[in-house]
Amino acid sequence: MAEAEAKRVASDERAAFDWLGALRDAGFLGLLTLGLSFPIIAFRTRQDLWQGLVLDPRWELVTVLVAIAFTARFCWLVFGNRLAGGVQSLAERVGSTLSPLKSYTATFRLVGLAWLIAYPFLAVLFAGPGGALKWIDNFGIQILIYVMLGWGLNIVVGLAGLLDLGYVAFYAVGAYSTALLSTYFGFSFWLCLPLAGIFAALWGILLGFPVLRLRGDYLAIVTLAFGEIIRLVLINWVELTNGAAGISGIPRPTFFGLPFNASDEGFAAFFGLQFTPLHRLFFLFYLILLLALLTNWVTIRLRRLPIGRAWEALREDEIACRSLGIDTVTTKLTAFSIGAMFGGIAGAFFAARLGFISPKSFEFMESAVILSIVVLGGMGSQIGVAIAAVVMIGGTEMLRELVWLKAIFGAGFDPTQYRMLLFGMAMVAMMVWRPRGLISKREPSIVLHEKRAIGGELVKEGQG
Amino acid sequence: MAAPAIDPNAGLDAEPILRVEHLTMRFGGLVAVNDLSFDVARGQITALIGPNGAGKTTVFNCITGFYKPSSGRIVLMSDGALPGPAIDALTDTSMRSRRVGDGGIYLLERMPDSEIAAQARVARTFQNIRLFTGMTVLENLIVAQHNWLNRASGYSLLGLVGAKSFRDAEARAVEIAVAWLDRIGLKGRADDPAGALPYGDQRRLEIVRAMCTGPVLLCLDEPAAGLNPRESAELNELLLSIRDSNGTSLLLIEHDMSVVMEISDHIIVLEYGKKISDGTPEYIKNDPKVIAAYLGVEDEEVDDAAAELDQ
């Protein structure tokens, strides 16, 4: 009955569709495209032999673009409503399948963990020892680093609601302290790992102090500047950091003193195994998995402690916090320093994994990627951040797999060039259909009768 | 009208818990509060009333440290401390507070907001409710007990390893929260987000959240704003029970005269940042200055003026 009603309404809508209006609207967009492309696309500029400016007109390209804009707009007006509804319901369905997953947390966690532990073996099984290198290194380890960074930043942005655009600075501090301590003083990786965390935490406090009174845009700008300052110091303090050339020869992590090499003292020889570079990758994979899980465990634990609740309360309403006698200074500083600490530990791992670091790895783009992982995942949601990291970093790596597209678009086509475009499109799509991130629900930190997730519309994002 | 023959301080013999002296607050050229002095009596309900823009909320913000007063002294005397030379001696030093006997004296104008709440134990609510809307009702009340819980968690270290002492402390905090929720009849909604509660419940929850900090003085900024008569009556009951069974002194700003006259022991009237009257509800009700401030001039005078114009 209701269905028939809906069908009748839909057919009425179709009958009443304003074709002329749609044509006019699409025509207007076509004209707009023409106007826009005239100064940008219509002419290619080059210099001739006499240094004079030559304009090569490209009217075919402009015509194609205008045609695309016109057709796309027209199709959108005709079919768009249904398409948008479809995507909306799809997004909702994805969201609602993810939410129950959260309520079966125990099972989900166990299956996820089992899969993660089995992952390197599965990679070897399916891709062979040679092919597995890529899957463990580029996908497994790379994604897990970003998961850990995302979780670290989640403390600052997701829980405490402090917008930090310079998080990569702490990653850099961790990486450079490991590199410098090990190359100058010969500290082992295992000593550098906690030290890097401590140094990064100290830098977190150092950044925290001047920005305590800042909120929102101002906080974002200062943290952004902080990230850039660290990078510029690393580039320009050549005597210490070797400048833009970076530091190489950072000792690789060892397995309780056993290096991963083909020598007689190596890991393979000690355990009587055939030497293969896979050993090191397996080790690195499990190490970063362990570090990421540690980050997760600590965060989940802290969320249920007074300090974690104070962070969330700070995100909800700073003035109310102060009226309840909560010391907002220490609350903010602990959030900054603990978030920074995990960034620093991830940095130490990063330095030891590659054996080489340079300021190039710590550009603003990295901060932006980590922040978008947190925002896309759903601020404050641990599992959401992990999923976002898999999608974003895994997706970027997947682009490299699309070389077969060269057969269609010609040899000059490089799919990785479209990374930022896809990134932006994913962002826009998210903002339209799931503005609070993949998982926007908040789980209460303490329960009296029955655990119920809190809808994202009530949870605030913080102003600082 | 003849001056009322009512003793302004009938029955007001309690010692003060808060003494505001010569408080002045300027914003640029605007004097929001001008040389204001009053006492808040221990264990009583004191109301601060006055027309819109009289400076009531500014006084509140000065007392709770959200504003730093331009000049004046605000002394809180907790746990039996009395006014006396010790306060003047403390004022001459650069210290903020001092223990006296069992209690302490706190110079609130020298302390920042969170310290006033944590050390001097002055709690407040806001005109526009400031609950943590995305947190549950229970979480709101647990956050209010942050300071002692955080100490009990060994500044997170004991809590991180799940020490029994911390789990016991947390259970105790939940007990306190549940006891308060029981008192306002919201125990059944403990796990709902605070933002999903009806307006009246949010008002009472905010008051209860402030009480969870264990205050000696509770400052309420228009607690009855937007409440219907039934909710107002429930609020009266709650405030009286806070005064009687918890021994907390209350200072409230309120426009709703049914609340003010019914529960206040003592009323202070402000107009244009100055105190125009100070006494029992009975005295205030009959004070011509208060009537003039609220209603403008009296009807007869209006009639007289109209008659003069006609001539």
Q: Looking at the structure, tell me whether residues A113 and A156 fall in a common domain.
A: yes
Q: Quick check: is B272 in a domain?
A: yes
Q: Nearest by CB to A302, which of B115, B156, B210?
A: B156
Report whether pLDDT(A80) > 80.
no
Residue ending a domain, among A77, A95, A113, is: A95
B150 and A310 within 8 Å at the Cβ level: the answer is: yes
Residues A209-236, mean pLDDT to the nearest whole number? 89
pLDDT in tens, B54-86: 899 999 999 999 999 999 999 999 877 777 788
Rounded Cα gap, residues A158 and A151, in angstroms:
9
Q: Is the pLDDT of residue A100 over 60?
A: no
Q: Are residues A272 and A396 in the same domain?
A: yes
What is the spatial distance between Cα A394 and Cα A405, in angstroms, rounded to a whole number? 18
| Cα distance between residue A91 and residue A437, in whole Å | 11
Q: Is residue B295 part of a domain?
A: yes
Residue B74, domain member (yes or no): yes
Which residues contact residue A317 at a Cβ distance below 8 angstroms, ignoring those fewer than 6 apart? Answer: A460, B130, B131, B132
Residues A91 and A108 in one domain: no
The per-residue pLDDT for A15 is 54
Q: Is B270 an interface residue toward A (CB < 8 Å)?
A: no
How far does CA A162 lie from the centroid of its chain? 17
Query: Is B271 inside a domain boundary?
Result: yes
Mean pLDDT value across residues A245-263: 84
C-alpha span between B207 and B41 (Å, rounded): 20
Residues A189 and A321 in one domain: yes
Q: What's the rounded Cα separation, in Å, for the pair A433 and B243?
A: 51
Q: Does B70 touch chain A (CB under 8 A)?
A: no
pLDDT score of B239 = 93
User: Which of A324, A328, A461 best probes binding to B when mutated, by most B CB atoms within 10 angstroms?
Assistant: A324
Residue at A462 is within a domain: no
Q: How far is CA A189 from the centre of its chain?
A: 26
Last residue in a domain, options A95, A120, A139: A95
The torsion of the CA quartet B299, B300, B301, B303, rounded to 10 degrees, works out to 90
Domain that holds residue B98: 12-120+265-301
pLDDT on residue A38:
84
- The residue segments making up the domain with residue A34 are 2-95
Specify whether A190 is located in the same domain as A323.
Answer: yes
Least CB–CB distance from A460: residue in B134, B139, B187: B134
For residue A17 the two structure tokens come to 């569709």
Answer positive or negative: Cα dihedral of A173, A178, A183, A185.
Answer: positive
Across the range A167-176, mean pLDDT stands at 95
Instruction: Provide the pLDDT confidence category of residue A302 given band limits of 50, 70 and 90.
Output: very high
pLDDT digits (tens, 9 = 90+) for A351-410: 999 889 999 999 999 999 999 999 888 878 888 899 999 988 888 888 877 777 777 777
- Condensed to tens digits (0 to 9), the pLDDT of residues A413-428 reads 777 778 888 888 888 8
Q: Is residue A441 part of a domain?
A: no
Q: Are residues A196 and A72 in the same domain?
A: no
- Answer yes or no: do A87 and A120 share one domain: no
B3: left (phi over 0), alpha (psi -120 to 50) or beta: beta
A254 confidence band (pLDDT: 50, 70, 90): confident
The closest CB to that of B135, out of A307, A312, A449, belongs to A312
A187: three-class secondary structure by DSSP:
coil
A326 touches chain B (CB under 8 A): yes
Give the residues across from B16 on adjacent strands.
Answer: B41
Distances A307 to A335, B42, B175 between C-alpha atoms, Å:
9, 33, 20
Residue pairs between chains A and B whose CB atoms are closer than 8 Å? 136
Q: Is residue B276 part of a domain?
A: yes
**Greatest CA span in chain A, whole angstroms?**
83
What was the pLDDT predicted at A464? 58
Instruction: Find out whether B105 and B75 touch, Cβ atoms under 8 Å.
Output: yes
Residues A32 and A160 in one domain: no
Overall number of domains in chain B:
1
Nearest chain A Cα distance for residue B139, angstroms: 7
Taking a C-beta distance cutoff of 8 angstroms, is the pair B62, B69 a contact? yes
Per residue in B95-153, pLDDT (tens digit) is 888 887 777 889 999 999 998 999 899 999 999 999 999 999 999 999 999 999 998 88
A442 domain-assigned: no
What per-residue confidence (pLDDT) applies to A172?
96
Three-class SS string for chain B? CCCCCCCCCCCCCCCEEEEEEEEEEEECCEEEEEEEEEEEECCCEEEEECCCCCCHHHHHHHHCCCCCCCEEEEEEEECCCCCCHHHHHHHHCCCCEEEECCEEEEEHHHCCHHHHHHHHCEEECCCCCCCCCCCEHHHHHHHHCHHHHHHHCCCCHHHHCCCHHHHHHHHHHHHHHHHHHHHCCCHHHCCCEHHHCCHHHHHHHHHHHHHCCCCCEEEEECCCCCCCHHHHHHHHHHHHHHHHHHCCEEEEECCCHHHHHHHCCEEEEEECCEEEEEECHHHHHCCHHHHHHHHCCCHHHHHHHHHHHHC
What CA–CA distance (Å, rounded) separates A221 from A163?
Answer: 9
Q: Has residue A9 got a pLDDT over 70?
A: no
Contact B138 A447 (CB under 8 A): yes
How near does any CA of chain B get to the CA of A460, in Å?
6
User: Is A324 strand, coil or helix?
Assistant: coil
Are B218 and B78 a contacting pair, CB within 8 Å?
no
User: Do A326 and B147 count as a contact with CB atoms less than 8 A apart?
Assistant: yes
A348: nearest Cα among A357, A335, A359: A357
Q: Which residues of B touch A321 (CB under 8 A)?
A: 114, 143
pLDDT score, position A203:
94
- pLDDT greater than 50 at residue B1: no
CA atoms within 13 A on the CB side of A411: 0
Q: Hey, is the C-beta of B163 within 8 angstroms of any chain A C-beta? A: no
- Among the partner-chain residues B117, B153, B195, the one whose CB lies closest to the CB of A324 is B117
Which range, A209-213, A334-338, A430-434, is most confident? Answer: A334-338
Residue B265 reports pLDDT greater than 80 = yes
Contact of B45 with B246, CB cutoff 8 Å: no
* The CA-based dihedral angle spanning residues A252, A254, A258, A262, taken in that order and rounded to the nearest 10 degrees: -30
Q: What residues contact residue A462 under an 8 Å CB cut-off, 6+ apart?
A: A157, A160, A161, A162, A163, A314, A315, A316
Task: Say how far apart CA A426 and CA A229 lie, in whole Å.
Answer: 30
Is residue A62 assigned to a domain?
yes
B213 touches chain A (CB under 8 A): yes
Strand ranges for A225-288 from DSSP E: 247-248
What pLDDT score was predicted for residue B296? 67
Identify the three-state secondary structure at position A414.
Answer: coil
Which residue from A203, A163, A179 is spatially nearest to A315, judged by alpha carbons? A163
Asked whether residue A53 falls in the same domain as residue A166, the answer is: no
Q: Residues of B with CB below 8 A from A327's CB?
A: 114, 118
Cα separation values, A197 from A172, A200, A204, A207, A358, Å: 11, 5, 10, 15, 19
| Range B298-311 average pLDDT | 60
Q: What percent of chain A has pLDDT over 70?
A: 93
CATH number at residue B72: 3.40.50.300
A439 is a domain residue: no
What's the CA gap between A382 and A295, in Å, rounded? 10
Least confident range of A136-150, A193-207, A387-401, B118-132: A387-401
Contact across the interface for B135 and A321, Cβ inside 8 Å: no
Q: In terms of domains, do A71 and A111 share one?
A: no
CA–CA separation, B21 and A179 (whole Å): 61
Give per-residue pLDDT as tens, B187-210: 999 999 999 999 999 999 999 999
Q: What is the mean pLDDT of residues A289-297?
A: 95
Within a domain: B236: no
A453 inside domain: no
Res B10 pLDDT > 90: no
Pairwise CB contact (< 8 Å): A322 & B117:
yes
Whether residues A43 and A170 fall in one domain: no
Mean of per-residue pLDDT scores for chain A: 85
* Most confident listed range (A115-124, A400-409, A431-440): A115-124
What does the angle CA A117 – CA A121 – CA A125 come to, to the nearest 5 degrees?
150
- Structural domain count, chain A: 2
Single-letter code of the amino acid located at A327: D
**Is A446 within the bounds of a domain?**
no
What is the tens place of the pLDDT at every residue in A332-348?
A: 999 999 999 999 999 99
pLDDT at residue B243 tops 80: yes
Locus of tokens 């006891």: B179
Query: Does residue A77 register a pLDDT over 60?
Result: yes
Q: How many residues does chain A have?
A: 464
Q: What is the pLDDT of residue A180?
A: 94
What's the CATH code of the domain at A415?
1.10.3470
- pLDDT band, residue A433 (cuts 50/70/90): confident
Residue B253 pLDDT > 90, yes or no? yes
Q: What percent of chain A has pLDDT over 90?
A: 39
Q: Is position B228 within any domain?
A: no
State how far the alpha carbon of B177 is from the alpha carbons of A177, A387, B213, B288, in Å: 46, 36, 10, 45
In-domain check, residue B209: no
Confidence at B2, pLDDT banded by 50, 70, 90: very low
Q: What is the DSSP letter of A137?
A: I
Is the pLDDT at B177 greater than 50, yes or no? yes
Lowest mean pLDDT among A246-255, A260-269, A314-323, B159-168: A260-269
Q: How confident is the model at residue B287 (pLDDT cuts 50, 70, 90)?
A: confident
Question: Are A122 and A51 contained in the same domain?
Answer: no
Q: Shortest CB distance from B138 goes to which of A298, A448, A459?
A: A448
Res B275: pLDDT: 92
Q: Which residues are CB-neighbours of B110 under 8 A, at least 6 positions away?
A: B96
